[in-house]
Amino acid sequence: MKYSCVLRGVAWLAAVCLPAVALGQDITQDPGAGASMHFGSLSMTPRAGIRDVGIDTNVLNASGDPQKDFTATFATGADAWWTVSRARVTSKTDAGWVYYQQLADQRSFDLNEQARLDVVLAQFVPYVLGGYDHSRQRPNLEIDARALHTTTSGGFGSVIRLGSRTTFDGSAAWRKFEFTEDQSIEDVQLARALNRTEQEVSGSVRVSVTPLTTAVLTIADEHDRFVFSPIRDSNSVRVLPGFEFKPFALIAGKVAVGYRRFDALDAAVPDYSGLIASIDASYTMREMTRFGFSFNRDVEYSFEVTSPYYLSTGGSVTVTQALGPDWMLIGRLSRTGLAYRALAGLGGSAADLASRRDVVLSYGAGVGRRVGSSMRVGVDLDRTRRDSIDIARTYSGIKLGGSLTYGF
């Protein structure tokens, strides 16, 4: 606990007291300059589409008696930038209606809104941000049901220039996760198990190594508090060094590998100290073949009564092969292990079940075609399977669907 308090103090002192000099163009540049539409000080890039038009052979990810249905998602959204004097508002909006022909109770209207206000001053850039996500999409691989949930978030901070190639970003943020009371899995109410608030104070140092590469070191202190399940309360410290590569580099994306100390406040819940990672990168070979790689390892909370959390470790590979200027073939493979951590004091088969390791495997292929400069059509086929010693959590299903997306 002492180390956690010291970390918070360092983050705040650095954000408030470090000397600042004139900001570089990388901070003050207008992010809406590349938007497709401009209306005075307002810039916007709207988008619309219909996706997943086809058959889902196991809509509910059920272990037995899977339900097949025709589904489609009608989606729209926009990225917008509004600049008035030194104030700059950035927003990202996505809305969609998910349709099922027979399972009417699974239909939903999903909305995700993220916004940020920056004030570009001569010496630093303070900001505030907020978000709202109301969705029936599965929040992670552990929750098989399409459970209705809402996430609200907010925060504030400041970006400070420390040198010609170095910046510091100090921030404080909170996130509130809420499931509706009627959402249950295996007679466990998700709201009773997982409704919580997360508070985080973090500091990030960014150093421009080359014009295309930036080194990043992030230190974060997080406190999680549950509304109805205080046995899951915890404090965490993350130390995450990594690199960011600009999109037009040979290797593009983000790579971060570091350490997390997860301290459970209840003695019956085991702690975790060890490796975490967040990798999302791509490599383009001869301008015709693109390899996408992702890997993630971190602690995730579980709704299960005897397993308060699990360690999620997994990755994916996506290969996109261009066939001339318009056509492309896509192949993808992903595998994730869910290593559950059991409460202390369990024995026998209960301990085996509570400390099991599930595996979720997914693979598929697709074909796509660009139509003009703004439209893309495609067809995708994917199969997903979850293996577990808990028969109730084992399932498999196939999705076959088409999509049409249009960016204005």
pLDDT-based confidence at residue 250 (cuts at 50, 70, 90):
confident
Predicted confidence (pLDDT) at residue 8 exceeds the cutoff of 60: no
Span 125-137, average pLDDT: 96
Predicted confidence (pLDDT) at residue 26 exceeds the cutoff of 70: no
Query: What pLDDT is recorded for position 163?
Result: 87
pLDDT-based confidence at residue 34 (cuts at 50, 70, 90):
confident
Query: What pLDDT is recorded for position 248?
Result: 78
Q: What is the pTM of this model?
A: 0.88
Span 394-403, average pLDDT: 97
Tokens read off for 95: 């809305």
Predicted confidence (pLDDT) at residue 12 exceeds the cutoff of 90: no
Query: What pLDDT is recorded for position 175?
Result: 98
C-alpha distance across the termini of the chain, in Å: 51
Q: What are the angstrom distances between the C-alpha of 126 and each of 8, 43, 80, 88, 169?
A: 19, 22, 20, 11, 9
Query: What pLDDT is recorded for position 28?
Result: 55
Q: Whole-number mean pLDDT of the chain?
A: 91
Q: Give residue-wise pLDDT tens across range 141-158.
A: 999 889 999 999 999 999
> What is the number of alpha carbons within 13 Å of residue 336 lying toward its C-beta?
23
Give the residue with greater pLDDT, 238 vs 38: 238
Q: Give residue-wise pLDDT tens across range 306-334.
A: 999 999 999 999 999 999 889 999 999 99
* Cβ proximity of 224 and 35 under 8 Å: no
pLDDT-based confidence at residue 17 (cuts at 50, 70, 90):
very low
Predicted confidence (pLDDT) at residue 2 exceeds the cutoff of 70: no
Q: Give residue-wise pLDDT tens across range 184-227.
A: 888 899 999 999 999 999 999 999 999 999 999 999 999 999 99
Query: What pLDDT is recorded for position 366?
Result: 98
Tokens read off for 334: 């992903």
Q: What is the CATH number of domain 2-407?
A: 2.40.170
* Cβ proximity of 157 and 169 under 8 Å: yes
Predicted confidence (pLDDT) at residue 89 exceeds the cutoff of 80: yes
pLDDT-based confidence at residue 36 (cuts at 50, 70, 90):
confident
- Domain ranges within the chain, ordered by starting residue: 2-407
> What is the number of alpha carbons within 13 Å of residue 348 lying toward its C-beta?
1
What percentage of the chain exceeds 70 in pLDDT? 92
Query: What pLDDT is recorded for position 23?
Result: 37
Give the residue with greater pLDDT, 139 vs 30: 139
